[in-house]
Structures are given as C-alpha cells and as structure tokens.
Structure 1
C-alpha cells in the first residue's frame, strides 16, 4: 500500500517545517517503508552547518519515528482519532552523513506491541548505505 503526502497528513499531526516523511512506498502487516527527499531548502540547513550542510541525526530519527507512527495508526484496533507520541530511542547509531540531494529510505519493522505502545526497529538508508538505525518506542493517545 502506497501513501502520498495528503494521506500522510490525514494520519500524522506534524506540519511544515516538521513533517519529515514525503511518501509511504510500502506498508505490509508489520513493516513500512517511507521516503524523505532531503533538499537544500530544509530550514535546518541554515544552521547545521552553513558551509557543510548535514541533516541532524535527531531529525533522521524523527523521520523514522513519523514513518513508524503511520504504521502504528494502521495497526491500532480502533478508528477513533489519536495522537502518536515518541517515547524513546535505544541502540541508535549514525553510520553516514545525510546531505542535500539525498533520498532517505525509512524502513521500520514492528518488534513488539503492548496495548497502545509500539516498539519498532528502524533503519534509514541513502541508496544501499545504512545512514542511521535504532529502536523506537511510541504510543497513541486519544
């Protein structure tokens, strides 16, 4: 199942300049793949770093978390509205810098679920290279 930006906006509360997922490329039962086009127009490049633009690692993790939020909404048992909250990160590693012009492929797999709490393994790629990875914890509250 693919999702465009309008469908993502219906599921996530994030808006510009903080929505960091452009498209959902695929969603299976407990896995999701998203896409973030990283452009020089991103507001964070003004200060990180002007002469050597690099996407902040925490924003790569946020892009993974937002993609995981789309999966969490798809997996919940109710159609009622809610907000997804990022609860934590473990085993986070940054493997390569992400620069303007890169396309981040955001892959997440559900590890565990207990009620409204979801634990996922996330990996962000540029091409075939792993850029960042970690385990993410989130919850959906009404």
Structure 2
C-alpha cells in the first residue's frame, strides 16, 4: 500500500491596515468605519472588521445608558468594505463609490460597545459604473445585518 501526499496550496489573505484603507477610501474620522480589511479580491469581494468601542461619537446620543450602533452606520461600514473591493481596481483609483440604494436590509441583533463587527461584501453585478453588492455583518459568528447595496462609482 503506497502513501500519497497531497499538496495543498493555501491562499495568503490580502490584508489592509487602516492607513492603507485611507489610501483607497476618502472617508476619515469619524466616518471611517472599517478598521482593517482581513481579506479581499479586487473587483470581487472584501472582508473587514470594525472594532466597536464606547468612544464612538454616535454612542453619545444612541442611546444614553444603552448604547447601540445605529443600523445605518452598520450599512455604511458594509458599503465601505465593498468600496475597498471596487476602488482597489487600478481603473477606479482615486474615484469614490456612492450609495444608489439599499434593498432587503435586515437587522438581526444589536451591535454594542466591545463587539467586533465582521463585515463582508461581494460584488454580484456590475453594469458600467453601477453595481450591486451582497453584504452581511456578524458578531461572534451571529448575523447582525444583511442587505443588498446598490452603488455607483464616480469621479
């Protein structure tokens, strides 16, 4: 009986630091909502994280004594994650991605200080500069939000 050896080639994740994200996206504090890209494939998809802390400015008013990350900011974090996938393409360097709409958004659990929001967005359709991304955000593997994001790449 002979032994066979399988060689598995593991793909090394493409990661981006906050400083590298800032070279791709125009967003700055307090609206830069992705702390790190944990992996991405230009033009196709991106995964990232947002470390949610009590120091977030939106917690001052949403809600005093019971801080919850606003759903619209979770959607924005997802959009920024998807924008990294698109704007990392050479032909889109220096451009911006604008919201065109949100479809089928669902919020399944609250996001609170101390949570690590895991973000993913896959570009599923492109027609010229307009496209759709399927996005989801999780905390500890549990779904917090999912949505389809409509976007347009602009100058």
> So what's the TM-score if we normalise by structure 1?
0.95
Q: What's the secondary structure of 1:9's corresponding residue?
A: helix
3-state SS of 2:121 partner? strand
Alignment match, 1:41: 55
Q: Deviations over 1:54-89 (max 9, x none)?
A: 0000000000001111111134x6155212111110
The 1:125–1:79 alpha-carbon spacing in structure 2 relative to 1, beyond 3 Å, is closer
Output one character per residue of 1:32-72: Cα deviation in whole Å (capped at 9) or x when no partner.
10110000000000000011000000000000001111111
Residue number in structure 1 paired with 2:22: 9
Please tell me the root mean square deviation across aligned C-alpha atoms, in Å: 1.2
Structure 1's unaligned 5+ residue stretches are none
Aligned pairs for 1:1-142 within 5 A: 1-28=14-41, 30-75=44-89, 78=91, 80-142=93-155
Separation of aligned partners in 2, 1:118 and 1:72: 10
Please report the TM-score for the alignment, with normalisation by the length of structure 2. Answer: 0.87
Q: Distance in 1 between matches of 2:135 and 2:19?
A: 23
Unmatched 5+ stretches in structure 2: 1-13
Task: Say which one has the larger Rg.
Answer: 2
Change (3 A) 1:119 1:37: same
Give secondary structure in 1 for the equivalent of 2:101: strand
CA distance 1:115–1:93, shift in 2 (3 Å):
same
Q: Distance in 2 between matches of 1:40 and 1:112?
A: 36
Which has the larger displacement, 78-87 or 109-118? 78-87
